[in-house]
Amino acid sequence: MTIAGRHKAAAVLVALGVAGAAQAQDGPPSEWLDKMAGAVQTASYEGTVIRIQNDKVEALKVVHTVTDGIVREKVIVQEGNGLEIIRNGNEVQCILPDKKSVLVEEWNDQSALFSSLPAGDIRFGSEYDVSIVREDRVAGRKTVLLAIRPHDEYRYGHRIWLDMETGFPLQTKLISQEGEAIEQVRFADIKLGGNIHASALAPSMSTENFRWFTQPKRTVTPIVDSPWQSDELPAGFRVVSTHEENLSARDTVVTHILYSDGLANVSVFIEPASDRKIAQRSSVGSSNSYSVETGGFSVTAVGEVPAATVEKIATSMRPN
């Protein structure tokens, strides 16, 4: 091929790429978010995930199926102690090969990979802006990159790469106020759909001689009203649920109030103050917590939000 011919071919490829990006941007971002929500709830897949948090890089082997609404999943950490997580519905087994132990606990709707993805009813325009940035590629598949940008310092930003065919999130980044990636999850390879045999979800080792520990189940009592509320809640946050939890390990009833702006969630736990020493502030990855004592009660706010958010909410909680 002549130089002129190569230039012409390159121009055609560029034009096709621009056309593809324009086609991806034809629909509003909300349609892509709806498509993503459906894919996360129903997709079966297996692959390798790279997770980066606090400058620590780890590789995970993931097998995930959804059958009749029941999630079954196996996650194997490829470094360190080889932690293996086996999920069957709400029951989760955390297998620690180096300690020859298995911890059994309950997870409800918690996700090992996608805990910070936006809900379908997120109210963009007041606290966030969302836009389609460009067409890209992740794990060898065509994707659409969405940017979610907050209006203030009380929430993180997000970048989400969605598989163009299915809407499945192939890469996510949590973005700080300074524009840096706090945490990111990216599929290095993935097989979406297809039949996954039950054996692929079984533990990869025998746990016959392991010690088993079962976390005490929480007794949760829904309550309609609580005397506690924040008198200085960051804009956009509202009460999503309020209930009481009986923590049998401490024989203590804790009031749990969940606040959300449709994307960011903050849990507030309120219990009678005790002599037990608590850390005023702590941080693990993208999650921050802040604790304070007020009126004979211990109040702790925790969530995947900036430190300023949990401090503002915890220190502003008051009983009526």
Same domain for 236 and 208, yes or no, is no
What mean pLDDT value characterizes the chain?
A: 82
49 and 192 fall within a common domain: yes
- Tell me whether residue 61 is exposed, middle or buried, using C-beta atoms within 10 angstroms of its C-beta: 0 to 12, 13 to 18, 19 or more: middle
Residue 88 has pLDDT above 80, yes or no: yes
| Residue scoring higher pLDDT (82 or 125) | 82
Of 52, 29, 180, which Cα lies nearest the Cα of 118? Answer: 29
CB count in 10 Å sphere of residue 53: 16
CATH number, domain with residue 75: 2.50.20.10
Contact of 234 with 206, CB cutoff 8 Å: no
Distance (Å) of CA 59 to CA 49, 65, 92, 136, 187: 6, 20, 20, 22, 10
2-18 tens-digit pLDDT: 434 433 333 333 333 43
| Span 305-312, average pLDDT | 94
The token pair at 249 is 């390990």
Residues 244, 173 within the same domain: no
Tell me if residue 73 falls in helix, strand or coil. Answer: strand
| Shared-domain flag, residues 150 and 165 | yes
pLDDT tier for residue 140 given thresholds of 50, 70 and 90: very high
Q: Token pair for residue 266? A: 């903050």
Q: Is residue 129 located within the same domain as residue 258? A: no
Q: What is the pLDDT of residues 249-275, one digit of tens each?
A: 556 788 899 998 888 899 999 988 877
Bridge partners of residue 299, in order along the sequence: 270, 292
Angle at alpha carbon of residue 86, lines to 85 and 89, rounded to 5°: 125
CATH number for the domain spanning 296: value is 3.30.200.100
Cα dist from 52 to 58, 60, 153, 158, 261, whole Å: 7, 11, 23, 15, 26
Task: Reply yes or no on whether the pLDDT at 243 is more than 50.
Answer: yes
> Which pLDDT does position 21 carry in this prediction?
44
Looking at residue 13, its pLDDT comes to: 35
**Whether pLDDT at 217 is above 70:** no
Q: Against a cut of 0.85, is the pTM above it?
A: no
Residue 114 pLDDT > 90: no
**Domain with 169 in it:** 27-212
Q: Are 84 and 74 in contact (CB under 8 A)?
A: yes
Choosing from 212, 231, 258, the residue where a domain stops is 212
| Segment 171-183 mean pLDDT | 90
Work out the number of other CB atoms within 10 angstroms of the CB of residue 303.
23
